[in-house]
Amino acid sequence: MMHINNIIVFFWRLAIPYLRIVVLLVLAALISGVAPDLYAAIGNQADSGLLMVFLTIAVLGLFGFLVHYLAAGTILPSFVLAIFFGMVGQNIFYPVVHGEGTMAILVGVGATLILFAGGLEIPFKQFRKLLGPILSLSFIGFFVTAFAVSYVLQFLGVVFGIDIPVMVAVLLGAVLASTDPAAIIPALRALRFKRRASKDIVISESAITDVVGALFTVVFLTLLYDNTALPTTILEAYGYLFQRETLGFLMKEIVLGVLFGVLGYLLLEFLLNFKRRHYAENDVDAAFFMCVPLLAFVMALATGGSGYLAAFLAGLLLLLTEHLHETERFFQHIVDGFLKPTIFILLGALVDLGALLEYAPIGIAASFIFMLIIRPLAVFISLGGFALFKGKRRKKMSLKDLLFISSVRETGAIPAVLMVTIMAMVGDMVPGLLPIGMWVILMTLVIEPPLLPHIARWLGVAEPIADKGHMVVDPHDKEPVVVIASRGYSYDRRLGDVVDWASRHHVYKVVLLCCPEGRYTDDLSSAIWHKACRIVSEKNQELMKQGKKAVDFKAVIRTGFLQDNIEELISLKGDTISTLFVGRKALDYRLNQLKGLNVPLSFLD
């Protein structure tokens, strides 16, 4: 009987997060039902249109907050929940969806800053090293994907007896061909890759294909607008890409996008150099930081270039330092906490539920063909050569690398932006585009993120970032100790200062807690240990020459996450830690978590 009760309790706890989601979706639907009456009452007020838009934007922020915390403890990405809440709350978001210019501004600003953030996410040093495979996958792989998706959609239309116009199939190919691992980046960060090339290629591809997808979409929208004789076949539509006029248009978009992207980077580099001389961060730094990609976007677009390419490139070229740590965090909170949820909520608010059910067979079938056939095909065509030959600075890719990259097929924020844009511009000319695209986004976001860590481990390309045993420290040693915590980037230039501080304060035990996390290898661990011991030995010699007592030193190098190990160390020796030294970027704790550590904390420059 006790065993049965335990099973019931287990499944009840498992079900609670999903029951909470269902209850709040029902509540959102009820609020949506009375929203027209509320807006009618507001309509009697002066500036009623402005009031309704302001109210809707506020609700978008509240829903973004809600979906983030509801997704915790479930297998559903928050983006999927955002789409669901947009669907059930369509009346709530009516003023923005149908407001003149409001949605275009939200979506345009969101897409620009998301692409800029995508550029910041890519380590430029690794990007240059892997330039060949990244560009091959982002261009050749993208074209193969888009072309195959367009043909598959027309084929499925025949199979299910639903007419899919050529331009709908072509636009969906361009929109859906870009990957977006935003939903699986947390899973990637929880894995230690044996060779990080596959991880860097996946992240880099996602940002570049977002830009390529935007360029292709603009070309096909131009074709839809300007050409009275629309193409009658998919091959004819894609042939339009290779016409001299189109190639000239694309070249202009790319050249001007690159030009203003570099200009944006130079403005941001000016900010970084300025902050090196004036270290303390100020609130206005964030304003400058966020305005630059928007300025690059506007200048590129105004001169006929690709604004999205300019914003992305400005972020890609920039190497952020700790001088803008707080600014970067604020920016990421705006992008991840408001802009991305807003785009997915608006996407859900646009879809017609009847059409979603009507196109379900095509959308679901296309999703599985997309993930299981088209994605591997595109990866092996575009990267197969890199598995056969190695470069000067690059090892050959393995079959396991190709299979892992083939398993990453999430479709996310920028495809959602492009679909919203298309619907706002030519929604009545592209029947079926939104519901089919919605199904592909939902299916890829629901199925792939939970499976990806298991696939990576099964292929042997990665392992979880976790400690293999308990920390080896003596909890019964009650002598005061100073701890310096690091992820292995800058401990060498800080360790000597920490030893000096300990000596001045008559603390003669120093511990280096180092967790390289995703970069951990046995060789790196050994190198850190030897270098740290040499630094402390040299510092001790200086102290003894001055007639001072040498310090005892211990290096604790762990395979897990720094935060987890700090908490474990504090649980073992918290009452003896005089001070815990960390770099300004070392911890990701919030203020209340910092207070909960219950040890004196000092930040190092």
pLDDT digits (tens, 9 = 90+) for 524-549: 888 999 999 999 999 999 989 888 88
Looking at the predicted structure, is the pLDDT value of residue 259 above 50? yes
User: Given this model, what pLDDT does residue 159 score?
Assistant: 94
Distance in angstroms (rounded) separating the CA atoms of residues 389 and 81? 43
Please give the mean pLDDT across all residues of the chain.
84
- Please list the residue range(s) of the chain that carry CATH number 1.20.1530.20: 11-464
Residue 442: C-alpha distances to residues 347, 376, 414, 437, 500 (Å): 11, 20, 14, 9, 56
For residue 383, the SS3 value is helix
Residue 191: C-alpha distances to residues 183, 444, 457, 468 (Å): 15, 20, 9, 14
Distance in angstroms (rounded) separating the CA atoms of residues 436 and 366? 8
User: Given this model, what pLDDT does residue 321 score?
Assistant: 63
CA-wise closest residue to 529 among 518, 516, 541, 539: 516
Looking at the predicted structure, is the pLDDT value of residue 593 above 70? no
* Total-model pTM: 0.82
| Strands annotated E in 349-466 | 462-464
Instruction: Give burial (CB, 10 Å; 0-12/13-18/19+) of 580.
Output: buried
Within 10 angstroms of residue 182's Cβ, the number of other Cβ atoms is: 24
Distance in angstroms (rounded) separating the CA atoms of residues 4 and 1? 5
CA-wise closest residue to 416 among 105, 59, 110, 63: 110
Average pLDDT for 43-68: 82
Name the DSSP letter for residue 427. G
Average pLDDT for 53-76: 86
Share of the chain above pLDDT 90, in %: 24
Do 149 and 409 form a contact (C-beta atoms < 8 A)? no
Do 375 and 402 form a contact (C-beta atoms < 8 A)? no
Within 10 angstroms of residue 107's Cβ, the number of other Cβ atoms is: 22
CA-wise closest residue to 382 among 126, 146, 124, 115: 146
CA 288 and chain centroid, separation: 22
User: Given this model, what pLDDT does residue 365 score?
Assistant: 96
Do 153 and 174 form a contact (C-beta atoms < 8 A)? no
φ/ψ (deg, to 5) at 321: -120, 175
Average pLDDT for 20-33: 91
User: Given this model, what pLDDT does residue 202 score?
Assistant: 85
Give me the sign of the Cα torsion angle 243, 248, 252, 258: positive
340-350 vs 102-121: helix crossing angle, rounded to 10: 140
pLDDT digits (tens, 9 = 90+) for 81-126: 999 999 998 888 888 887 767 788 888 888 899 889 888 877 777 7
Distance in angstroms (rounded) separating the CA atoms of residues 38 and 473? 63
Within 10 angstroms of residue 88's Cβ, the number of other Cβ atoms is: 21
Looking at the predicted structure, is the pLDDT value of residue 327 above 50? yes
Distance in angstroms (rounded) separating the CA atoms of residues 487 and 505? 25
User: Given this model, what pLDDT does residue 358 score?
Assistant: 93
Distance in angstroms (rounded) separating the CA atoms of residues 233 and 204? 32
Min mean pLDDT across 68-77, 163-172, 222-231, 457-466 is at 222-231
Contacts 24+ apart (CB under 8 A), 538-541: 538/496, 539/495, 539/496, 539/499, 539/500, 540/499
- Architecture of domain 481-604 in this structure: 3-Layer(aba) Sandwich (3.40)
Do 120 and 319 form a contact (C-beta atoms < 8 A)? no
- As given in the structure block, the two tokens for residue 165 are 């116009």
Name the DSSP letter for residue 552. E
Residue 79: C-alpha distances to residues 63, 189, 293, 412, 426 (Å): 11, 18, 24, 8, 25
Looking at the predicted structure, is the pLDDT value of residue 585 above 70? no
Average pLDDT for 471-477: 68
pLDDT digits (tens, 9 = 90+) for 358-410: 999 999 999 999 999 999 999 999 998 887 776 665 667 888 889 999 988 88
- Please list the residue range(s) of the chain that carry CATH number 3.40.50.620: 481-604
Distance in angstroms (rounded) separating the CA atoms of residues 139 and 108? 24
Contacts of 433 (CB under 8 A, 6+ apart): 168, 171, 172, 419, 422, 423
- How would residue 489 be classed by pLDDT, with cut points 50, 70 and 90? confident
User: Given this model, what pLDDT does residue 187 score?
Assistant: 66
Domain spanning 11-464, CATH class: mainly alpha
Do 107 and 47 form a contact (C-beta atoms < 8 A)? no
- How would residue 228 be classed by pLDDT, with cut points 50, 70 and 90? low
User: Given this model, what pLDDT does residue 378 score?
Assistant: 94
User: Given this model, what pLDDT does residue 592 score?
Assistant: 47
Within 10 angstroms of residue 326's Cβ, the number of other Cβ atoms is: 17
> Tokens 């050529």, residue?
166
Beta bridge partners of 577: 481
Looking at the predicted structure, is the pLDDT value of residue 509 above 50? yes
Average pLDDT for 597-602: 72
Do 439 and 401 form a contact (C-beta atoms < 8 A)? no
- How would residue 151 be classed by pLDDT, with cut points 50, 70 and 90? very high
pLDDT digits (tens, 9 = 90+) for 413-469: 888 888 888 888 887 888 999 999 999 998 988 888 888 888 888 988 888 777 777
Residue type, 148: A
419 vs 587 pLDDT, higher one: 419
Beta bridge partners of 483: 511, 580
Q: What does the H/E/C string look like for 240-252?
A: HHHCHHHHHHHHH
Share of the chain above pLDDT 70, in %: 91
399-406 vs 433-459: helix crossing angle, rounded to 10: 150
Residue type, 182: A
- As given in the structure block, the two tokens for residue 93 are 């978001």
Distance in angstroms (rounded) separating the CA atoms of residues 163 and 489? 57
Per-residue DSSP letters for 126-152? HHHHTHHHHHIIIIIIHHHHHHHHHHH
